[in-house]
Structure 1
Amino acid sequence: MKRKVKLIGAFTAAIFLLTYCTERINIDLPSTYTRLVVEGYFTTDTMAHTVKLSRSADYFYNKPLEPVSGALVTIADGSITYLLKEDPDSAGLYKTEPDVFGVQGHTYTLHISNVDINGDGTTEEYSATGPIHYLGYPDSIQIVEREMFYTKVWEIRLFATDPAETRDYYMFRVYKNGTLLQDTLNEVFLLDDEYFNGVYSMGVPVQYLVARKQDEVPKPGDRITLEIANITKEYFFFIDQVIDMSRGTGPFSGQPANVSTNLTNGAMGFFATYPVRRVSRIYNP
């Protein structure tokens, strides 16, 4: 695993992707091969958790993907089953009730049925399973203004203890005054605990705010909140592949390869399950 360059690589991606990349990523497929695309999330937050269903399209198809309506969508942990209802105002978007939350240590299964993706008159079923790992409470964050790669940034540093018993994979996002600044997978910061497993981290860099993006520039009195998620290894590498694919490797590299998935029956995308913690600080330079 190329973790020695992950910090620099993720920041380099952030400089360009946070500034320029706001589009969803289409994964290339032959025009005659349509698949189900799933974007699903189930976390420890108490909220209406969502699963978005759509049909895949060609890589060069630059229109929104066609939503999949009328599906039967459930999330279950073996004892409780949640039925997700389609949003009447957003076709293909399925939601739990707003008082639903995931529990650390439980494993959740997404099940999708009553869909006919290829239009042959026969309905298909799809599923994905993922655990919610343990995540302790962070102590604090520090916000440090600095220059990196000739760009002014504000480095978010985390102070927290990493558990020694497990190998952990983290995803980080930042809110400013309650507004999420990284709202696509291209913009998150990934870090595993290879070099700090089981120790107290004294200010490890976990996210960056970039001066060239005006909505990220912190002002005195702004409330900066770091969101921490302990994600599965599979989801970690799924996001890593999405970021690599969105960068490309040059004008002659061809279309990107398909990314991995935890879904069955040829579906694309991911059903992500993870715990979430947040820690805030008022910015006073």
Structure 2
Amino acid sequence: MPILLHFSKTLMILQKHKLSRQPFSAGYLHSLTILNFKTMKKYSLKIIMLLTSFGILILSSCEKVIDVNLNSSDPKLVIEAKMTDSANCQVKLSETVNFDETNTFPEISGAVITLRDNYGNFETLTETSAGIYSSFSIIGIPGNTYTLKVTVDEKTYTAISSMPYPVAIDTITFTSIGALSHKTNMASVELLDPMGIKNYYRFVEIINGQTQNNIFIFEDRFDDGKSITAPLFTDPGSGDASNKILSGDAVEIMAQCIDKSVYDYFLSLSQSGGGMHSSTPANPKSNFSNGALGYFSAYSSKSKTVVVP
């Protein structure tokens, strides 16, 4: 079966090796899912080394040669679309490539992309650069529902996303974790979940202006109307200094309120053996029709920035 590769600016996916994405929980296994792609990459390399050693041992006692045929496959369309309560709709179109090709992922130009809200307002997006499309007249409003249609080569892909109302962050606290050269601080977000409303959250961590690749998602299934504390854990032993939080660092946390279809997408990403841009049966659950990869998220957000003491 062909393995297709693609990378996203927001998601670091290693497609040539399927990674196990197990949810991490700090205090509430039922609610918080944390994906640390950098840590998983390190662990995957260890697993690969182990499997390689095991393979050498087998081959040393067996003369049979196995020819692995990596068939090529038609490229898949990847749609990354977002719309916020503070910015207009932005869409990025690209294609997957085959396993044996270079990691250069073609942008898709010339597509026809339309956006419509539940009040009948309609707009055709403008291609502002290769593969990048933007809206200018329709703005994101919490409570509204948006339908995005992407037509490429006479095939149309449709996704619907409803924008929830934002929830403000109350406080951000830090806990020292790790030891010696691996010492860092873990941020925890506290907020009051609105009662009687089903809420789904995605937290984005920005350290000294650099957005981190980790993805943190949460639902209020067991915490409706309660004060929620969400620890944003990253592995202090990952060896990547960019995700360390040290005294004096400016840390911004963005609390995105997302709808269920987008939450399901990131949850399935955490549970799948593939990735967002894989064409395997383990694809994350996209909210686009017609087999497109990716997602459309209309979300509201609130941010808070603190300096680590």
TM-score past 0.5 threshold: yes
* Higher alpha-carbon Rg: 2
Name 1:213's counterpart in structure 2.
240
Contact 2:203 2:255 (C-alpha < 8 Å) held by counterparts: yes
Name 1:24's counterpart in structure 2.
none
**Structure 2 counterpart SS, 1:172:** strand
1:94 corresponds, among 109, 133, 138, to 133
Q: How does 1:12-51 map to 2 (within 5 A)?
A: 13=36, 16-17=39-40, 31-46=72-87, 49-51=89-91
Contact 2:31 2:221 (C-alpha < 8 Å) held by counterparts: no
Structure 2 residue 126 is matched with structure 1 residue 85 = yes
Name 2:147's counterpart in structure 1.
109
Q: CA deviation at 1:196?
A: 2.0
> Aligned partners of 1:227, 1:67: CA distance in 2, in Å?
28
Contact 1:153 1:208 (C-alpha < 8 Å) held by counterparts: no
CA separation of 1:176 and 1:56: change in aligned 2, threshold 3 A? closer
Q: CA deviation at 1:14?
A: 5.3
Contact 1:129 1:271 (C-alpha < 8 Å) held by counterparts: yes
**Structure 2 counterpart SS, 1:259:** coil
Q: RMSD of the TM alignment (CA)?
A: 3.3
Structure 2 residue 218 is matched with structure 1 residue 178 = no
Name 1:52's counterpart in structure 2.
92
Q: How does 1:135-284 map to 2 (within 5 A)?
A: 135-147=166-178, 152-182=183-213, 187-201=214-228, 203-208=229-234, 210=236, 212-245=239-272, 257-284=282-309
Q: CA deviation at 1:242?
A: 2.4
**Structure 2 counterpart SS, 1:135:** coil
Contact 1:103 1:132 (C-alpha < 8 Å) held by counterparts: yes
**Structure 1 counterpart SS, 2:29:** helix
> Aligned partners of 1:65, 1:171: CA distance in 2, in Å?
27
Structure 2, unpaired ranges of 5+: 1-22, 45-69
What is the one-letter code of the residue matched to 1:84? L
Contact 1:106 1:132 (C-alpha < 8 Å) held by counterparts: yes
Q: CA deviation at 1:283?
A: 0.9
Structure 1, unpaired ranges of 5+: 22-28, 117-122, 249-254
**Structure 2 counterpart SS, 1:104:** coil
What is the one-letter code of the residue matched to 2:189? L
Q: CA deviation at 1:151?
A: 5.8
